[in-house]
Each structure stands twice: as structure tokens, then as C-alpha cells.
Amino acid sequence: MNVFKNKLLVRLSLVPVYIRRVGFYGYSFIFRINGNNPEKSVSTIFRTFYSLLDLSAQHSIKFRPILPSPFFIKSSYLWHAQQRYLLPTLWLLIAIIIGIAYLHDNYNLGMVALAGGSLPGFLATIMETEEADFVRIYISTKHFVARTLLETLYNTSLYLSPLVVTLSILFPAEWMVTLLFFPAILLLNVQLLWTKYAFYPSALLAGVIFFCGLLFQLALGITLYGLVIVPVYTVVLYLIFLKNIRSTISLDKTSINIVRRDVNDYSEFK
Amino acid sequence: MKELIIESLNKSYTKTTVLENVSLHYRSGAINGIIGSNGAGKSTLLNCMAGYIPYHGKIDRKNIETIGLLTANPYIFPRITGLEFIRFCLSAKNCKEDKQKMDRLNRLFELPLHKFADRYSTGMLKKLHLLALLLQQNDMLLLDEPFNGLDILSSAYLSELLQELKKQDTLIFISSHDLDHLVKIAGTLTIIENGTTYMKSEQLSEIQKKIEMHAYDKVKSLNLSL
């Protein structure tokens, strides 16, 4: 294991040398074709760079491959939509940084990568705004609550499990802290989901409430009050979420003051 | 038998009254057309029927548990494929994915389901929403301008499909500006005019004649020399 670790470290340390070498040969080539004139060479590089940018802007070249999403439930559209490139990219980056943390024997780096990488990804995914038409597609409030909760728990677990397990194996002394991170993120994601729909359609209000709630829970979490406040906060949030989503999906919004009238008494077309 | 009974329906947006004291009664077994001028309140009536917006009055939905609404301008999430959208719709309605039925229906609409739906044209987007609705087996279908943006063949296919759904006891409502098309497929016609008047009739040909006469008289009275 140590031999492999050393070999990998040597290879990684050579990366800047390779970059420098490629850069040097590239610049030498441009220098030569510009008659050994340094000013001309620099302007050629910048001209090429800007013309490429301009070309891209003019023709709006977009690289949009349809990545398969092995992580997520097929119907969980939020996880497939706008962040379908962000989540896999973040996942790969976290995995790479965990590898680097292992090579440098730095557990904190791995944990920071896991928390700092996954949280923005989940925030961007769950807090995506959609029109009410999407929410109303659900057959009932009960189905909406069950489905969104299942998708959040399932997708978060699938996304985080390999990373958490890897970190626990690589740093066995810290396994308890690493595993505690897992339910904490699950709870946070559920709170995020319920906060979003509790204040739906206002994403701004939901965002503010989520961060305030998070700070509030963190502040009290240090003390013993946290043991009480976290479940109470979650239950209150759930009740507000339920009320708001019921009014969005519910079929019966009949208001007051019904004036009875014969059903067959239709007015005539003028 | 599915029934929709509207009693004394009133709907206003701030100071503008869109629907006033509307009372109507619909039964399954017929396609119900809704027609009216721009801004008359067709979409509002459909949304009230679905219960998606608050209103005054009473709407009784007998034996109706699931409702499918096609909005006039269907919205789609960016970076979601047609197939993913259909899967989401089916899961949201608690329906199982019938791949054979989906393939058969898509042979009519010819949608590239594995491509991102935000690249679809307006007509294709409408077809995608229609495909999702037709796979859901809703008790009541509310279609706001379903023929807008569809090509001739797709419109004809949709008309035939709706006739099939009608036989399966689905309560169908279609709002449209295309009176000729509505007269061909609808069993009843509801007319919303000036936001406040309405009518429901089984004699569609008479209504069509009345509207044509009205248009003829109006143009003649203006004495336009084009």
C-alpha cells in the first residue's frame, strides 16, 4: 500500500513539470512562427484566445451530453434537471480530494471536501424553482409528501454512501465522526426540502428561513437544548410544509357565500 | 358516470370580474368544447374546474379523482429529457410505466424522447405534455388550446385519440379558438363572452350558424372596401 502511495505522490508532483514543459514547447513554437518577436507572439496568443471566445459566443456552442444518472430515482426530475452536470462533477471532485487527503494523511481535508462539496450541490438541486404546474401534477398531497421525501432520502444516500464509506475506510480512526455526518446531511436535506415547499413559491424567503433555521439549530445544538429544538423545529417545519402544499395541490378551494341556483338555468347566448 | 356540476361560480382578478354566476352541468361520454374571445376567461374556467385557483361558488366533481390539465403554454424544466418528464408525470400520478403503450402513442407523435425537452419546438412540447396526459388515465382531462402549434396530422391523431378516451368514460374539456375543429369533435359547446355571459348547448350547428351570421353582419355593417 505504501509503495503505491509513494508512486502516486511522485507522479502527482511531476504534474507541474509536465504542464511547464508543454507550455514551454507551445510558446517556443508560437515564438518561432512570429519571427522571434515576443510582442507579436503574445498578441497572437491573446488574439486566438479571444477569437475562440467570440466564436463560441456568436454560435452559442454548448456541450450538453445527456449523462445517464445511475445515482437517482428515474422520476426525480429535480435531481436530473438543471444540476445534472453539477452533481457528478462535484462528486468526482470530492472523490479526488478524498484521495489527496489520504495521500497527505489529512482527515480534515477529506471532511471539508465532503461537507463543502456536497452541501452546495444539494442546495442548488433541492432549491431549484419550478412552476406550480409541476407541483399540481401530483395526484394528492399525501403522494407528494411521500414521493419527495423518498426521492430526497434515497438520492442523498446513494450520492453520499460511496464517499462516506471510502472516507471511513481510509481513516478508520475517525469512522464515528464520518458516519455521523451521513444522518446529519440526510436531516439537513429533508429540512431543505420542507423549507422550500413550506414557503413555496418564494425561493428567497425559503432560502433565508433555511439559513436562519440552520444557524438557530447550530447555536442551540452546542448545548443540551439542541436535543429538544432540532426535532421540534423539524416537526413545526413539516406542519407548515404540509399546510402550504395542501393549498397548492388541493382540489377543493371552494370559497364562502354560495348562492344556490338551478343547475339547468343557463343564460342565453346573446 | 362522471359529472362536473358548477354552481354560481364567480371569479375575479382584483377589480376585473372574469366569470360571474356561472352554473353548468357536464357528464362524461361527450367531449365538451369551450369557446370564447381572447381574455374571455376560458383558461380561468378550466383552472377553476381543476380546483387550481380559488373561486367563489361550488364545483362538485362526482366520481372524479384524477385530473389532467394541459396549459396553453406548457412549461418544461431545462435539461430534462422527454422520457424523464413522462416518467416523472407517471410517478406523480401513481401510474405504472407502460412502455408498450408509450411506444405505440409515440409512433403517432414521433417525439425524440431521449433528447432534452428544452430543445423541442412549441408543438413538440405540447405533444410531449399530451403524451404524458394520455398515459396517465385521468378521470377528467382539461385541455387548453391543445391544437395550437400542432401539425395537421398530429391534430387529426389527437382528435381520434380523444374520441377513444370519450368512450372510456373520461370527462373531456377542450378550450379552443378553432370553432370548425370543435364542432367536428365536441358534443357540447360552452361559450364565454365578455367575461360574464355563457351558454351550454347540444345544438352545435345552430351556434356555428349564429356566429357566422354575426361575423357576416358585423363585416357588412362596417362597409369596408378592401
The pLDDT score that the predictor gives to residue B8 is 85
User: Which amino acid, one-letter code, is at B19?
Assistant: L
User: Do A152 and A221 fall into the same domain?
Assistant: yes
Is the pLDDT at B193 greater than 80, yes or no?
Answer: no
Quickly list H helices, A222-267.
Answer: 226-249
Assess whether A9 and A121 both reside in one domain: no
Whether residue A266 has pLDDT greater than 50: no
Could you give the angle at which helices B122-136 and B82-92 cross, rounded to 10 degrees?
30
Chain A: give the shortest CA distance to residue B129, in Å.
Answer: 11
Answer yes or no: are the C-beta atoms of B79 and B87 closer than 8 Å. Answer: no
Residues A161, A209, single domain; the answer is: yes
Q: What's the gap between Cα B40 and its chain centre?
A: 15
Does residue A68 belong to any structural domain of this protein? no
B9 interface with A at CB cutoff 8 Å: no
The whole-angstrom distance between A263's CA and the closest CA on chain B is 6
Region B1-29: mean pLDDT is 84
| Domains of chain B, earliest start first | 1-65+140-150+169-226 (3.40.50.300)
Q: Out of A54-58, B145-149, B188-192, which region has the weakest mean confidence (pLDDT)?
A: A54-58
Q: With an 8 Å Cβ cutoff, is A19 touching chain B?
A: no
Among A120, A117, A129, A125, residue whose Cα is nearest residue A84: A125
Q: Tell me whether B59 touches chain A (CB under 8 Å).
A: yes
What is d(CA B188, CA B201) in angstroms, rounded to the nearest whole number?
Answer: 6
Q: Does A36 share its domain with A141?
A: no
| A48: number of Cβ within 10 Å | 11
Secondary structure of residue B79 in the 3-state scheme: coil
Contact (CB, 8 A) for B166 and B134? no
Residues A145, A183, single domain; the answer is yes
Encode pLDDT of A204-255 as tens digits: 899 999 999 988 888 887 787 777 888 899 999 999 999 999 888 865 544 3
Q: Which residues of A touch B24 (CB under 8 A)?
A: 263, 266
Q: Are residues A183 and A82 in the same domain?
A: yes
Contact B201 A132 (CB under 8 A): no
pLDDT of residue B66: 85
- At B213, list the grid cell: 351570421
* A132 vs B contacts (CB less than 8 Å): 52
Spatial CB neighbours of B141, under 8 Å, sequence gap ≥ 6? B67, B68, B70, B133, B162, B165, B170, B171, B172, B173
Residues A151 and A187 in one domain: yes
- What is residue B143's predicted lDDT score, i.e. its pLDDT? 92
Per-residue model confidence as pLDDT tens digits over B134-144: 998 888 999 99
Whether A259 is in a domain gets the answer: no
User: Residue A270: which pLDDT band, with cuts at 50, 70 and 90?
Assistant: very low
Residues 6+ apart with CB under 8 A from B145: B72, B175, B176, B177
- Which chain A residues touch B198 with a CB distance below 8 Å? 266-267
Which residue type, as a one-letter code, is found at position A84? Answer: R
Q: Is A268 a member of any domain?
A: no
pLDDT at A141 over 60: yes
Task: Report which residue type is found at A262.
Answer: D
Co-location of A87 and A149 in the same domain:
yes
The predicted pLDDT at position B30 comes to: 83
Note whether B219 and B62 are within 8 A (CB): no
* A165-174, A218-227, B125-134: least confidently modelled range: A218-227
What pLDDT does A209 receive?
Answer: 92
pLDDT above 90: residue A33: no
Any idea how long chain A is?
270
Q: Shortest CA distance to A153 belongs to which of A67, A76, A233?
A: A76
Examine residue A45 and state whether it is found in any structural domain, yes or no.
yes
Reply yes or no on whether the pLDDT at A155 is more than 50.
yes
The sign of the dihedral angle between the CA atoms of B179, B184, B186, B188 is: positive
Work out the pLDDT band at A52, boundaries 50, 70, 90.
low
**Paired residues of B200 in beta bridges:** B190
Q: Could you give the C-alpha distances from A245 to A50, A94, B85, in angstroms and in order? A: 49, 34, 21
CA A31 to chain centre: 44
- Say yes or no: A36 contacts chain B, CB-CB below 8 A: no
Task: Identify which of B85, B94, B193 has the shortest CB distance to residue A77.
Answer: B85
The Cα A193–Cα A268 span in angstroms is 50
What was the pLDDT predicted at A265? 36
Residue A100 burial (10 A CB sphere; 0-12, 13-18, 19+)? middle
Does some domain include residue A257? no
**Nearest residue to A158 via CA among A100, A224, A71, A225:** A71
Scored b (16 or more CB within 10 A) or e, B49-69 reads: bbbbeebbbbbebeebebbbb
* Contact assignment for B88 to A76 by CB distance below 8 Å: yes
- Residue pLDDT, tens place only, B166-183: 888 889 999 988 777 888
Most B CBs within 10 A among A86, A138, A248, A266, hence the mutation to make, goes to A266
Q: Does B202 touch chain A (CB under 8 A)?
A: no
Tell whether B62 lies on the interface with A, counting CB pairs under 8 A: no
| Domain contains A270 | no
Which residues 129-168 of chain B have a CB within 8 Å of chain A?
A: none
* Reported confidence tier of residue A169, pLDDT bands at 50, 70, 90: very high
Asked if the structure places residue A120 within a domain, the reply is yes
Residue A197 sits in the same domain as residue A106:
yes
Percent of chain A with pLDDT over 70: 68
Same domain as A19, residue A142: no
Residue B78 burial (CB count, 10 A): 13
CB-closest option in A85, A253, A266 to B199: A266
Nearest CB partner across the interface for B77, out of A81, A85, A254:
A81
Contact B116, B138 (CB under 8 A): no
Structure confidence at residue A261 as a pLDDT band (50, 70, 90): very low
Give B195 or A195, the one with higher predicted confidence: A195
A82-90: long-range contacts (C-beta < 8 A, 24 or more apart)? A82/A124, A82/A128, A82/B77, A82/B78, A82/B79, A83/A121, A83/A124, A83/A125, A83/A128, A84/B79, A85/B79, A86/A121, A86/A124, A86/A125, A87/A121, A87/A125, A87/A159, A90/A117, A90/A118, A90/A120, A90/A121
Are residues A99 and A6 part of one domain?
A: no
- Same domain membership, residue A94 and residue A129: yes
Report the predicted TM-score, pTM, of the whole model to 2 decimal places: 0.74
A 78-107 near B (Cβ less than 8 A): 80-82, 84-85
Q: Which stretch of A96-100, A128-132, B163-167 has the lowest confidence by average pLDDT?
A: A128-132
Whose cell is 364545483? That residue is B59
Domain that residue A129 falls in: 77-249
Q: How far off is chain A from B49, nearest CA to CA, in Å?
A: 9
Q: Is residue A125 part of a domain?
A: yes
Counting the structural domains of chain A, the total is 2
